[in-house]
Chain A
């Protein structure tokens, strides 16, 4: 079964993103929301980690959080809440890294 992983914490000084990327299945997806969208800042170490993870079409970001923080986003597909709900159903389950 596939999992949509959801991370809402800043990747700087926090282990969630690194641990998630280690455990991510080949058909799983990752949705960044809240401060986790800071991982999309190019030139940053988390951005390099995301690129290295080669998520391609399986990396998403909540649009409102990208906008609020003025993070340039070239890596993730931006979604709104309707998109978030659709993703929740497209993948077999949702794992929020609280």
Chain B
């Protein structure tokens, strides 16, 4: 079965870690992840600049590793990202901002990608709110 998973919270939120553990269980169950979509404060889960304390879980780092290891389609909503200061190189140049903090494997795109994922997936599951 195909899953679309949307993350609405930053890396330090319990729901971001929960989303990651759920995504892992989806793959472990032999299912597919059609897309991961990061919206609202979920854009911060994609930030390359998050520095987790040494004795704490590095959820942002784990998201990145998970996406790369499984070659998943991970999209960050561009409008939500700009508003929150999460920029890739193109946007940092466009708006003349001093820092680039959205690395590969994430891609910036629009809400259309969330809708497309919801259309192709058997289930749309959202995490966030904290």
Contacts and interface: CB of A to CB of B under 8 A. Distances in A.
A72 to B, nearest CB: 21
Interface string B1-42: 101000010000011001001101110110100000000000
Interface residues of B, number: 23
A96 B126 contact: yes
A23 B124 CA distance: 20
A96 B22 contact: no
A34 B22 contact: no
A89 B128 contact: no
Interface in B77-107: none
A61 B8 CA distance: 21
B7 to A, nearest CB: 10
If over half of A's interface residues share one DSSP class (helix, strand or loop), that class is named, otherwise mixed; here it is: mixed
Contacts of B18: 8, 33-34, 62
A82 B128 contact: no
Contact of A85 (B15, B22, B126): B22
Given A82-B28, A89-B1, A8 B129 contact: yes
Contacts of A88: 3, 123, 125
A95 B22 CA distance: 15
A22 B14 CA distance: 26
Contacts of B116: none
B63 interface: no
Contacts of B29: 82, 85-86
A13 B125 CA distance: 25
Interface of B: 1, 3, 8, 14-15, 18, 21-22, 24-26, 28-29, 31, 122-130
Interface of A: 8-9, 33-34, 62, 80-82, 84-86, 88-89, 93-94, 96-98
